[in-house]
């Protein structure tokens, strides 16, 4: 009984989100539309409650693969970013209108077009999936939680807009998703085959004593399959279509939630190995994935005429940057006990950058969602042309968020990139190939500035098109504002967050880890000083 209670102790936030999802579904069936409109508030309430439980609730004493601080960090990040995402999604005005028209009998009822409580139920289920991924201690658990993240998003994409392109993109998303699941499941099978366990701590100890090519192959396949979730090469094909086809709030959701779950899952899988892969096939797989993902994302981003597609390719490119940090791996065992800042700890950099990227990109998508053209959401560069004359506030948020995506100091994205690339440089003693990866990453950042500046150029110097009109959606404006402020404020005073991310990522590796040479202090660590 106490084993069960201990297992439950770690998942109260997820249980809360699951309950919230059920309540949202029930509320969504209410007769009065005023009651149905409460679902977004109820969803927010349960989200905050799960955040409180994550901090103050019972903590598990054992059975976690990731360090408890890291689990807490990811859960809180999910809650915080989830609230912002909820603000972006809260009204989904086009759908509410369609629902209203169906109720009044003006239009025939079409279940695909009306938005009810189940959208928020799926929203909460998916967030619960990310939280469960962090607490996973078994391959079965990891598989189920990754599926819990993805299955609701397929429905969210399909029902997000009453345009046919939403459904088309949902089908593409779903089919590639099903393929990806099969691939990483085969990887999981091989991991089980190599070790004989699905319990991750036992896999860890079994992997420490024997090295088997089957285990390596299993982890390789699992990473390739999970690359669908993080929108990385070779499973990135859906990204542009889905980001463009889904309604903007759902696009913002996809940019954060599956990506976070995917990276957490890869971190869990790599911590199965006796030591972080700095050599060998897994290292080269991640190296090639990172280089290709960045390059494909940025080169394709240059060619787009749609802002949403451009941001989709930017999402691919950012996965590439994140993979650089992932490859660098956890902190070197320094004699100073981690006093040299977060540089050197790739995992902390990844955790930090996930939030930094999420806030920047959600801000940009929220601005897009605040403008509509001919009754549809803004999409092409022409649609946002001259945004600054009509909506200076929205244009300013777009400016700040996009510059953060470029990585311009002193914004949030700059700090994130310094930590990501800096940690790879700090680990160059382990493998000189890391240096080349950083070179590729920096070159890519420079290339990416071209298309990011196109977005800013369209907002500030484009000729205002007469067709744009503001979307009546106050909560989305609030979300845009929150992101804009967060990107600036956290960029300037982000030290606390970085420390939090670093503390949270003291990855528990098995004991054979060899004390590596301290190289991290050659890099400037006090980047906030200036």
Partner 1 sequence: MNDIALAHYLFTGAVLFALGMVGFVTRRNMILMFLCTEMMFQGVVVSLVGFSRLHGNDTGQTFVIFVLTIAAAEAALALGLVVLLYRRKRTLDAGAWAELNG
List residues near partner 1 by CB under 8 A.
112, 139-140, 143-144, 147, 151, 154-155, 158, 164-165, 167-172, 174-175, 178-179, 181-183, 185-186, 188-190, 192-193, 196-199, 240-241, 244-245, 303-306, 309
Minimum CB–partner distance for residue 244 and partner 1 (Å) = 6
CA-nearest of 199, 180, 173, 144 to 14 is: 144
Name the residue nearer to partner 1 (CB basis): 300 or 498: 300
Minimum CB–partner distance for residue 192 and partner 1 (Å) = 6
Please give the full DSSP string across 330-366, using - where no structure is assigned.
Answer: SPP--TTSSTT-STT-HHHHHHHHHHHHHHHHHHHHH
Q: Which residues contact 297 (CB under 8 A, 6 or more apart)?
A: 236, 313, 314, 315, 316, 317, 318, 319, 320, 444, 448
Minimum CB–partner distance for residue 305 and partner 1 (Å) = 7
> SS3 letters for 292-322?
HHHHHHHHHHHCCCEHHHHHHHHHHHHHHHH
Alpha-carbon distance of 28 to 292, in angstroms, equals 43
Alpha-carbon distance of 386 to 403, in angstroms, equals 18
Minimum CB–partner distance for residue 281 and partner 1 (Å) = 19
Alpha-carbon distance of 364 to 215, in angstroms, equals 41
Minimum CB–partner distance for residue 240 and partner 1 (Å) = 7
Provide the token pair at 180: 């990806």
Provide the token pair at 298: 């940025």
Residue 259: count of CB within 10 angstroms of its CB: 24
Name the residue nearer to partner 1 (CB basis): 99 or 195: 195
Alpha-carbon distance of 72 to 75, in angstroms, equals 5
Minimum CB–partner distance for residue 373 and partner 1 (Å) = 17
Name the residue nearer to partner 1 (CB basis): 40 or 239: 239
Name the residue nearer to partner 1 (CB basis): 6 or 168: 168
Minimum CB–partner distance for residue 219 and partner 1 (Å) = 16
CA-nearest of 502, 104, 143, 158 to 336 is: 502
**Neighbour-count burial for 419-453, b at 16+ CB within 10 Å, e otherwise:** bbbbbbbbbbebbebbeebbebbeebbebbbebbe
Name the residue nearer to partner 1 (CB basis): 326 or 458: 458
Alpha-carbon distance of 292 to 32, in angstroms, equals 51
Minimum CB–partner distance for residue 129 and partner 1 (Å) = 12
Alpha-carbon distance of 66 to 68, in angstroms, equals 6
Alpha-carbon distance of 256 to 497, in angstroms, equals 18
Minimum CB–partner distance for residue 194 and partner 1 (Å) = 9
Q: At what angle do helices 248-270 and 346-369 cross, to 10 degrees?
A: 170
Half-sphere exposure of 165 (CA within 13 A, CB side): 13
**Neighbour-count burial for 123-146, b at 16+ CB within 10 Å, e otherwise:** bbbbbbbbbbbbbbbbbebbbebb
Name the residue nearer to partner 1 (CB basis): 139 or 396: 139
Name the residue nearer to partner 1 (CB basis): 187 or 325: 187
Name the residue nearer to partner 1 (CB basis): 244 or 295: 244
Do residues 117 and 26 make contact, with C-beta atoms less than 8 angstroms apart?
yes
Name the residue nearer to partner 1 (CB basis): 244 or 444: 244
Q: Which residues contact 432 (CB under 8 A, 6 or more apart)?
A: none
Name the residue nearer to partner 1 (CB basis): 18 or 491: 18
Minimum CB–partner distance for residue 175 and partner 1 (Å) = 6
Minimum CB–partner distance for residue 63 and partner 1 (Å) = 16
Q: Is 523 exposed, middle or buried (0-12, 13-18, 19+ CB in 10 A)?
A: middle
Minimum CB–partner distance for residue 232 and partner 1 (Å) = 19
Name the residue nearer to partner 1 (CB basis): 245 or 341: 245
Name the residue nearer to partner 1 (CB basis): 19 or 151: 151
């Amino acid at each position: 009984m106490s084993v069960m209670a201990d297992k439950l102790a770690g998942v109260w936030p997820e249980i809360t989100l699951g309950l919230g999802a059920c309540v949202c579904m029930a509320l969504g069936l209410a007769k009065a539309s005023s009651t149905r409109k409460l679902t977004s508030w109820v969803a927010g309430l349960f989200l905050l409650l799960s955040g409180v439980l994550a901090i103050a609730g019972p903590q598990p004493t054992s059975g976690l693969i990731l360090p408890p601080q890291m689990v807490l960090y990811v859960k809180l990040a999910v809650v915080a970013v989830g609230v912002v995402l909820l603000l972006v999604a809260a009204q989904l005005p086009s759908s509410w209108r369609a629902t209203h028209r169906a109720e009044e009998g003006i239009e025939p009822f079409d279940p695909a077009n009306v938005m009810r409580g189940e959208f928020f139920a799926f929203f909460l289920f998916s967030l619960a999936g990310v939280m469960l991924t962090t607490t996973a201690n078994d391959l079965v658990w990891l598989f189920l939680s990754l599926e819990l993240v993805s299955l609701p998003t397929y429905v969210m994409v399909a029902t997000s807009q009453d345009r046919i392109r939403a459904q088309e993109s949902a089908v593409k998303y779903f089919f590639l998703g099903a393929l990806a699941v099969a691939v990483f499941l085969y990887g999981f099978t091989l991991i089980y085959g190599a070790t004989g366990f699905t319990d991750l701590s036992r896999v860890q100890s079994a992997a420490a004593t024997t090295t088997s090519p089957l285990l390596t192959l299993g982890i390789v396949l699992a990473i390739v399959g999970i690359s669908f979730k993080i929108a990385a090469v070779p499973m990135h094909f859906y990204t542009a279509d889905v980001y463009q086809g889904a309604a903007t709030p759902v696009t913002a959701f996809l940019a954060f939630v599956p990506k976070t779950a995917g990276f957490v899952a890869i971190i869990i899988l790599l911590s199965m190995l006796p030591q972080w892969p700095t050599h060998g096939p897994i290292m080269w797989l991640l190296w090639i994935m990172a280089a290709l993902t960045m390059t494909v994302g940025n080169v394709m981003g240059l060619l787009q005429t749609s802002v949403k597609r451009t941001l989709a390719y930017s999402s691919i490119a950012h996965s590439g940057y994140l993979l650089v940090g992932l490859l660098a791996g956890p902190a070197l065992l320094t004699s100073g006990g981690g006093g040299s800042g977060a540089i050197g700890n790739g995992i902390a950099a990844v955790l930090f950058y996930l939030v930094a990227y999420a806030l920047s990109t959600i801000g940009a998508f929220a601005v897009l969602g605040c403008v509509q053209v001919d009754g549809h959401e803004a999409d092409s560069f022409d649609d946002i042309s001259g945004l600054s004359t009509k909506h200076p506030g929205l244009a300013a948020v777009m400016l700040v968020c996009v510059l953060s995506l470029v990585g311009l100091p002193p914004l949030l994205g700059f700090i994130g990139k310094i930590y990501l690339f800096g940690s790879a440089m700090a680990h160059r003693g382990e493998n000189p190939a890391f240096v080349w990866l950083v070179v590729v990453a920096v070159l890519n950042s420079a290339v990416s500035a071209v298309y990011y500046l196109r977005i800013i150029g369209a907002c500030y110097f484009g000729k205002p098109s007469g067709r744009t009109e503001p979307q009546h959606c106050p909560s989305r404006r609030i979300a845009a504002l929150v992101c804009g402020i967060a990107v600036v404020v956290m960029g300037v005073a982000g030290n606390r967050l970085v420390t939090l991310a670093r503390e949270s990522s003291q990855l528990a590796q098995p004991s054979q880890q060899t004390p590596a040479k301290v190289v991290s202090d050659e890099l400037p660590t006090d980047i906030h000083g200036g």
